[in-house]
Amino acid sequence: MIHYVPPLRDMQFVLDDMLDAPGVLADFPTHAETDASLMQQVLTEGGRFATEILFPLNASGDHEGCHFDGGAVTTPAGFVAAWKQFCDGGWPALACAPEHGGQGLPQVLNCALFEMLSAANHGWTMYPGLLHGACACLSRHASEELQQRYLPPLVSGEWLATMCLTEAHAGSDLGLLRTRALPQDDGSYAISGSKIFISGGEQDLTDNIVHLVLARLPDAPVGSKGLSLFLVPKYLPDGARNAAYCTGIEEKMGIHGSATCSMQFDGATGWLVGTPQRGLNAMFVMMNSARLHVAAQGLGLADAAYQQALHYARERLQSRAPGQAAPRSNAADAIVMQPAVQRLLMNQRSYIEGGRMLTCWSGLMLDSAESHPDPAVRALMHERLGFITPVLKAMLTTQGFQGASDALQVFGGHGYVTETGIDQYLRDARITMIYEGSNEIQCVDFLLRKILADNGTALEDFLAQVEHTAHAEAGSDLGIHASRLLELTRNLRTSAADIRAQAINSPRLPYLLAPEMLRLTGHAALAWMWLRASRSAAGKLSAEPRFYQNKRDTACYYFTYIFSEVHCLNATIDACLHHARSSSQDTRSAFPSDLTEQDATQEAG
């Protein structure tokens, strides 16, 4: 029986015991009254909405999907009613600014909420997924008039927002976008062009939809630096229908309950957001928010799949487990007693609980970046969040898909048939590795822009935080784990310097090694979190022995069975660097020529 239980106890551990979120937030005037009790109350109610309202619609929404007819989209049965309940509960406004009608609660609570919503129903959660990023973008870059007109209904959930970037010929290369914006006499712009893969571009949850569209002014230079951002509503302020239409929805592998639309703008009326030709600068506020949201999606899907697998493994009887000498009445043991199944389950658990620490940590950083009374601290937290965002997006979505695959493996043949429903998590999770910047793009962005561009300053700041914790544990019972983590930080520092030096003569080298560098940094972050978690749990063992000992055991499992991946990653970097130093043909000689040259037999065919 498919089920989902909100991870409230684990969230409480991360927020209260490990990160001391209430203590951190107490120093911010805007969140001084947000104590542990309030945070737990909010998450409990959010978990109830996820399990009682959204989860029952998950499988049915997947089976029914969205319907398109004459430009209109109908979402699966129950989605509209669920959205009304979501808005009636004030959930869209949770972490939005009070001056726009928001509740002004911490962003870290919003991160935890959207993990649960994504776990319960990924397809439905796609609709509000861009809402907070859109509000942040408009709050920072839109004119006062646009803010007053559009932020209140967005914050309340009366309206929803989209992000219109992609065009069929361009993909992720935004510099190739062709959508045009022509200035009008009244100060507005006429937007013309086509966009694809627009989540929620048309839906029946809200009457109005606010599209944030990247387009090019007539005098704009070529490339991404010539793009501007425009707000284009479905309905104009006077109630007239704007010339922005959905021309179809995609038939997808997963997230069937989410309408993925192609959009046509035929001289649609829009208004400039920010300054001309600085559209990407404004849009990155929304994009970075979306990437953190997608990281939470990967985490939530992994947890939901893990819960199904664990439940099944405890009930499924099959074969005798090794090491069970005492006679038993059953003819077979539950497969949860099999070491191979335990490995599958513990791999998932280590990444899920570690990923939850990372998302809550990033949410708390976001609160510091927005609300800390010291401007210097706010700036530092923005930089730290920008550094870790591609790591979280790529690492947690990769593990979301791998975790769902491992969960299906626990089910065996029963997982491969659709009756059990575990396949939906695998199908839904796969897109998270692609949208909001594919994970390959995240890797390149991370190494080239977050490490090499500033000569490793941001990396050094991150490593210093990790090493501070590791050095403090050097003489404790966690010393062996701390020493392994310190070895990783030293290797990361050395590898970054070596790649920078070799890139002068081997410009392809950073692109080739970007995945390894991102994943190594991800393991440094995970190991750091598990070190902190284990230390926090040690001080609470007497209060709740089973829970806190399980936390320490999971930390031990991570360092024993998973952390060793860093040796393979380091070996790849070392081999590639050696090849770059010794090869006269740059790093191209590591790849067969037929990768980039069309086969003559294919051309003839």
Q: Give catalytic residue positions.
A: 436
Per the CB < 8 A criterion, the answer to whether 468 and 460 are in contact is no
Amino acid at 381: M
Amino acid at 19: L
Distance CA 451, CA 494 (A): 12
Element (H, E) at 192: strand 189-199
Per the CB < 8 A criterion, the answer to whether 179 and 216 are in contact is yes
DSSP 118-135: HHH-HHHHTTTTTHHHHH
State whether residue 179 is helix, strand or coil: coil
Judge residue 322's burial from the number of C-beta atoms within 10 Å of its C-beta, 0-12 exposed, 13-18 middle, 19 or more buried.
exposed
Amino acid at 590: A
Position of tokens 């935080």?
465
Backbone φ and ψ for 96, nearest 5 degrees, come out as -85, 160
Backbone φ and ψ for 442, nearest 5 degrees, come out as -60, -40
State whether residue 271 is helix, strand or coil: strand
Q: How many CB atoms lie within 10 A of CB 10?
A: 17
Element (H, E) at 314: helix 279-315
Size (the chain), residues: 605
Distance CA 209, CA 27 (A): 37
Per the CB < 8 A criterion, the answer to whether 442 and 414 are in contact is no
Per the CB < 8 A criterion, the answer to whether 489 and 414 are in contact is no
Q: How far are the Cα atoms of 96, 111, 132, 218, 261 from residue 120, in angstroms, in the given order?
A: 23, 14, 19, 45, 23
Backbone φ and ψ for 326, nearest 5 degrees, come out as -70, 140
Distance CA 109, CA 363 (A): 8
State whether residue 215 is helix, strand or coil: strand
* Lookup: tokens for 40: 């737990």
DSSP 385-425: HHHHHHHHHHHHHHHHHHHHHHHHHHHTHHHHSGGG-HHHH
Q: How many CB atoms lie within 10 A of CB 376?
A: 8
- CA-nearest of 233, 110, 95 to 164 is 233
Q: How far are the Cα atoms of 185, 228, 270 from residue 219, in angstroms, in the given order?
A: 17, 11, 18
Q: Roughly what angle, to the nearest 10 degrees, separates helices 457-472 and 479-502? A: 160
State whether residue 73 is helix, strand or coil: strand
Amino acid at 21: A
